[in-house]
Amino acid sequence: MLSFNDYKNLVDERLLDFLPDTGNYANVLKESMEYSLGIGGKRLRPVLLLASCDAAGGDADRALPYACAVEYIHTYSLIHDDLPAMDDDDMRRGKPSNHKVYGEAMAILAGDGLLNSAAELITAQALDLREDADALYAHSRAAHEILRRSGASGMIAGQTADVMNEDKEASADLVRFIEEHKTADLITAPVRAGLMLAQADESMIDDFTTYAKNLGIAFQIADDILDYEGNEELMGKTLGKDLEQDKCNYVSVHGMQDAKAELHRLSSEAKDAIRKYDNSDFFIELADMLESRNN
Amino acid sequence: MLSFNDYKNLVDERLLDFLPDTGNYANVLKESMEYSLGIGGKRLRPVLLLASCDAAGGDADRALPYACAVEYIHTYSLIHDDLPAMDDDDMRRGKPSNHKVYGEAMAILAGDGLLNSAAELITAQALDLREDADALYAHSRAAHEILRRSGASGMIAGQTADVMNEDKEASADLVRFIEEHKTADLITAPVRAGLMLAQADESMIDDFTTYAKNLGIAFQIADDILDYEGNEELMGKTLGKDLEQDKCNYVSVHGMQDAKAELHRLSSEAKDAIRKYDNSDFFIELADMLESRNN
C-alpha cells in the first residue's frame, strides 16, 4: 500500500494521458476538458480505486485507467453543475469555472466529452484481455459498476433530486436520497471497482461497500457543515450557496449539532466494517481525515 | 433480414424498457429522458445496428440493447444541441424541445442521463457471458466501438467543430471534419458494432465501414440540402438555421449543384462497397431512400 499522496501523484501524472485525441478542428474541446481536470482536486475517488485494488492484491497499474475515468466523471459532473442553468457557480477550486473560461456551449460539450471519455477509456481496457477470460470478466464487471453508479439510478438521480427540489419542503428521506446518490454512489463505485479488478472475495467487496457508502454520506455531511462553517479561501468555491438557493441538506433539516453527531457515527461505522482486514490502516486514516476536513 | 419498419418496430417496442429506474425523488429525470426518446425519429442508427448484425448471421435479440443504446446517444446529443447555449432550437420532431418542456437544468441532466444510460446498458450485456469467452470479447469490442465514435474524438469533436466555428470562414476540410464526426461516426458505429456482435469477418467489417462512412456523410449533405430546400412541416424542425447562424456546411461551401452531385457520388460509393454480400439489398435500398429523403 502507498500513501494517499503517492496514489494521488500516480493519478495526477497520468490523468491527461488517457484523453482521446480530438483532432485539428476540435482542439478547444480537449483544452477545456484538460482545464477542468487540471485545476486540482483531492482526487479522492481515483485514490480510493487504486487503494482498494491494492488492498486486495490487485495490479494498481491496470487499475489506473479506471481511476482516471472516475475522476473524469466527477469532473464532468462539476462542470455541468456549475452552469448558469444549474448551480450557477463562477468559481471552482479557486479558479474560474469551465463556462466562465470557455463559454456555456463549450462547457456543456466538455462535460459530455469527459463522461464519454470515461466510458470509452474503461471499455478499452478489456480489449487486450482476450486470452484471459477471468480478467476480461473482472474488467467488464468493474466497467459496469462505475457506469451504473454514475448514472440515472445513481449520481445523476442524486443531482436531479438536488436541483429539482429547491424551494420545496425538505425531508430527511430526500436528504438521504441526495447524499446516497449525488455523493456516496461515486465514492462506492471506485472502491467496488478496484476490488473487482483485483478479483477480491465477495465478502470483502460487501464489507468495503459498507465502508464506502458510510464514508460517502459522511463526506457529503462534512461538505454541508463546511457550507455553513467553512473557509471560502480553503474551499476554493462560494460558500453559503445551499442557504441562498434554499437547498435541503443534512444541516438544514437536522441542525448543526445532529449533523456533527451523524458525521461521527457514519465515520465510525465505516471504519468498523473493514477493521479486520490487513490493509485497513489506509482506509481508517482516510475516514479520520475526512471527518476533520476543512476543504 | 426484416424490413426497415420491422427493425424500427423492434426498437420502438423496447426503447424505454432499458432505461434505469431513477428512484422516487428523481422521477422527472426518467420522464424527461422518456419524453425525448418518445417523440419519434427515424431510428436509422439502431435499425442499422440490428440489420448489420442480422446480415452477418448474428442474434438480433442480443443486439437490441446496443441498438437502443445508440439511439440514447443520438437523442442526448439532440437534447444538448437544442439548448439555448448551443443551437437554441425550440422545436424537435414537431414537438417542443426537451428544455422547453422540462427547463434547461433538467435538459442538461436528461442528456447526461441518456449518455450514461447508453454506456451502462452496453456494459451490462457482458455480465451474463462469463462462460463464453468469444462472445464476451465480441461484446466488449462492440461496446468500445460505440463509445469511441460517440466521444471526444468522434461525435463530440464534430459537434465542437460545428458550434465553435460559426462566423468563421468555412473551408472544405472543416466541412468534411464536421460531416465525418458529427454525423458519420454515429452511423458507422452501429454498423460496425452490429457486425462485431455477430463475430463477422474483418473483411466484411471493413467493407461495411466503407458503406457506413459514405452513407453517413451523404446523410449529412442531404440534411444540409434540406435545410435550404426542405419542408418545415415534414422535417418537424426550424429550417434555414445554418444560414441564419452562419454555419458552414457542404452547400454553403460548395454550392447546391455540387452538393447534389456529391450526395449521389457518396451514395453510389456506399452501395458499391457492399454489393457483393448476400444481404446487400437492405443496405442498397436504404442508401437509395436516404438519397431521396425529404425529412
Domains and CATH numbers, chain B: 4-291 (1.10.600.10)
Cell of B111: 442528456
Q: What is the pLDDT of residues A243-269, one digit of tens each?
A: 666 678 999 899 999 999 999 999 999
**Between the CA of residue B65 and those of A200, A231, B10, B41, B142, what are the distances in Å?**
29, 48, 11, 18, 12
HSE-CB of A60 using CA atoms within 13 angstroms:
18
Q: Are A154 and A178 in contact (CB under 8 A)?
A: no
Give the nearest partner residue to A20 out of B19, B20, B151, using CB atoms.
B151
All residues of chain B having their beta carbon less than 8 Å from the beta carbon of residue A85 are 103-105, 108
Interacting residues of A245 by C-beta distance below 8 A, sequence separation 6+: A87, A166
- What pLDDT sits at residue B8? 98
* Sign of the Cα pseudo-torsion (B157, B162, B163, B165, in order): positive
All residues of chain B having their beta carbon less than 8 Å from the beta carbon of residue A122 are 123
Cell of A286: 482516510
Mark yes or no for CB contact B151/A103 under 8 Å: no
Average per-residue pLDDT for chain B: 94
Interacting residues of A136 by C-beta distance below 8 A, sequence separation 6+: A126, A129, A130, B133, B136, B137, B140
Give the mean pLDDT of A226-252.
76
Between A142 and B293, the more confident residue is A142
Q: What is the pLDDT of residues A50-62, one digit of tens each?
A: 999 999 999 999 9
| Residue B258, H or E segment | helix B256-274
Gyration radius (Cα) of chain B, Å: 19
Give the nearest partner residue to A112 out of B85, B115, B141, using CB atoms.
B115
Average per-residue pLDDT for chain A: 94
* Separation of alpha carbons A4 and A19, rounded Å: 24
Q: Which amino acid is at A179?
A: E
Give the mean pLDDT of B205-216.
98
Give the nearest partner residue to A160 out of B19, B28, B137, using CB atoms.
B28
At residue B96, φ and ψ (nearest 5 deg) are: -60, 140
Q: Are A53 and A137 in contact (CB under 8 A)?
A: no
Gap from A150 CA to chain B (nearest CA, Å): 7
Q: Residue A230 above 80 pLDDT?
A: no
Q: What is the pLDDT of residues A17-29, one digit of tens each?
A: 999 999 989 999 9
* Sign of the Cα pseudo-torsion (A154, A157, A163, A166, in order): negative
Gap from A28 CA to chain B (nearest CA, Å): 8
Mark yes or no for CB contact B24/A177 under 8 Å: yes
**Between the CA of residue A123 and those of A143, A280, B254, what are the distances in Å?**
7, 30, 39
Measured between CA atoms, the residue of chain A closest to residue B152 is: A113
pLDDT band at A234 (very low <50, low <70, confident <90, very high): low
* Separation of alpha carbons A43 and A71, rounded Å: 7
Cβ neighbours around A32 below 10 Å, total? 25
Q: Residue B9 above 90 pLDDT?
A: yes
- What pLDDT sits at residue A243? 66
pLDDT band at B33 (very low <50, low <70, confident <90, very high): very high
Mark yes or no for CB contact A103/B111 under 8 Å: no
pLDDT band at B93 (very low <50, low <70, confident <90, very high): confident
Q: Residue B116 above 90 pLDDT?
A: yes
All residues of chain B having their beta carbon less than 8 Å from the beta carbon of residue A125 are none
pLDDT band at B247 (very low <50, low <70, confident <90, very high): confident
- What pLDDT sits at residue B293? 80
- What pLDDT sits at residue B24? 87
At residue B237, φ and ψ (nearest 5 deg) are: -150, 165
Q: Residue A213 above 80 pLDDT?
A: yes
Mutate to test the interface with B, among A77, A131, A140 (most CBs of B within 10 A): A140
What is the value of ipTM here, to two decimals? 0.96
* Sign of the Cα pseudo-torsion (A1, A180, A204, A201, in order): negative
Mutate to test the interface with B, among A160, A181, A248, A249 (most CBs of B within 10 A): A160
* Separation of alpha carbons B45 and B50, rounded Å: 9
**Residue among B3, B62, B54 at smallest CA distance from B278:** B54
* Strand blocks (E) in chain A: 91-92, 95-96
Q: Are A232 and A295 in contact (CB under 8 A)?
A: no
Q: Residue B234 above 70 pLDDT?
A: no
Gap from B281 CA to chain A (nearest CA, Å): 33
Alpha helices by DSSP H, chain A: 4-14, 27-38, 44-55, 60-82, 98-102, 104-124, 133-149, 155-164, 172-178, 185-197, 202-229, 232-235, 241-244, 250-254, 256-274, 280-291
Give the nearest partner residue to A136 out of B117, B137, B152, using CB atoms.
B137
Mark yes or no for CB contact A156/B130 under 8 Å: no
* Strand blocks (E) in chain B: 91-92, 95-96
The residues that bridge with A91 in the sheet, in sequence order, are A96
All residues of chain B having their beta carbon less than 8 Å from the beta carbon of residue A181 are 23, 26
- What pLDDT sits at residue A109? 98
Measured between CA atoms, the residue of chain B closest to residue A174 is: B25
Q: Are A249 and A217 in contact (CB under 8 A)?
A: no
The residues that bridge with A95 in the sheet, in sequence order, are A92
Q: What is the pLDDT of residues A164-205, one digit of tens each?
A: 886 667 799 999 999 999 999 999 999 999 999 999 999 999
HSE-CB of B183 using CA atoms within 13 angstroms:
20
**Between the CA of residue A231 and those of A93, A295, B221, what are the distances in Å?**
13, 8, 55
Mark yes or no for CB contact A153/B116 under 8 Å: no
Give the nearest partner residue to B106 out of A153, A164, A177, using CB atoms.
A164
Gap from A245 CA to chain B (nearest CA, Å): 14
Q: Are B109 and B46 in contact (CB under 8 A)?
A: no
Mark yes or no for CB contact A152/B30 under 8 Å: yes
| Residue A107, H or E segment | helix A104-124
- What pLDDT sits at residue B243? 66
* Separation of alpha carbons B147 and A74, rounded Å: 18
* Separation of alpha carbons B73 and B149, rounded Å: 11
Cell of B13: 417496442
All residues of chain A having their beta carbon less than 8 Å from the beta carbon of residue B116 are 115, 119, 147, 150-152, 156
- What pLDDT sits at residue B194? 98
Q: What is the pLDDT of residues B149-199, one digit of tens each?
A: 999 999 999 999 999 886 667 789 999 999 999 999 999 999 999 999 999
* Separation of alpha carbons A79 and A29, rounded Å: 13
All residues of chain A having their beta carbon less than 8 Å from the beta carbon of residue B100 are none
- What pLDDT sits at residue A294? 73
Q: What is the pLDDT of residues A144-161, one digit of tens each?
A: 999 999 999 999 999 999
Mark yes or no for CB contact A103/B85 under 8 Å: yes
Q: Are B153 and A20 in contact (CB under 8 A)?
A: yes
Between B273 and A131, the more confident residue is B273
Give the nearest partner residue to A147 out of B80, B108, B116, using CB atoms.
B116
